[in-house]
Amino acid sequence: MLTVLARPSENFGTRRGVSAPDMVVLHYTAMDTTEEALQRLCAAEHEVSAHYLISELGQVFQLVADEKRAWHAGAGAWGQVTDVNSHSIGIELANSGRQPFAEPQMAALEQLLQALLQRHAIPRERVIGHSDMAPLRKGDPGARFDWARLARQDLSVWPGAGGGLPADAVKFHALATRFGYVFPPSEMCTDPLTAVLSAFRLRFSPWEHGALNLRDMARIADLAHRFPARGLGRAPVCG
């Protein structure tokens, strides 16, 4: 049974426009220790928080109640959601971004996600990374995070093999938008397609490089077909 330790943060508000969360955003802390991350997420002067923090040892701390609006996502969007903080539960994983995620930490995350998705009726396709909702601006939970492991337990999604589509930037844009990615406007990013492609690869093929290819098209086509986002969103800040 999952044990959740209370470590209240002062940094939260009231959800806007929704009464309950309908998505989950995963992060890494980019800090050296769990205690250092806890102190930052709980300190009023930093104006940042998350609902949960999971240590490398698998300890789960609750900083903000599920029904409240934590301050973890910042500028960005997913599908029609432009105020991600109001719609989401934020989970921080204690990790500097330079090492694999520890087994006890991943096991605790799986238990927590199972509970949250059931409690709030959150679809698995709405478990996303910080980098998904803020292309280019954010890179967490990063290339070392095992998204396929979560998908095997229906706690997130993973693309099938697919195939048959040539590499086409216009088609990729349409499919990625259907799945949930929101392309930054050209006046904010010189290359919006590369920004979203990089975020997409960071999650689904982190060691892939180079131009848009057949594998990218097959993966995004499968995801867009099986897991279309709830409407379209406005463009996030990119920088």
Catalogue the active-site residues.
92
Which two three-digit tokens encode residue 212? Answer: 């848009």
Task: Name the residue among 37, 182, 3 with its Cα closest to residue 107.
Answer: 3
Query: Quick one: CA torsion of 223, 183, 19, 72, rounded to 10 degrees?
Result: 100
Written as one letter, the residue type at 150 is: L
How many Cβ atoms from other residues are within 10 Å of residue 69's Cβ?
A: 24
On whether the CB atoms of residues 238 and 192 are closer than 8 A, the answer is yes
Strands (DSSP E) contained in the chain are 4-6, 12-14, 23-28, 52-54, 60-62, 68-70, 88-93, 127-129
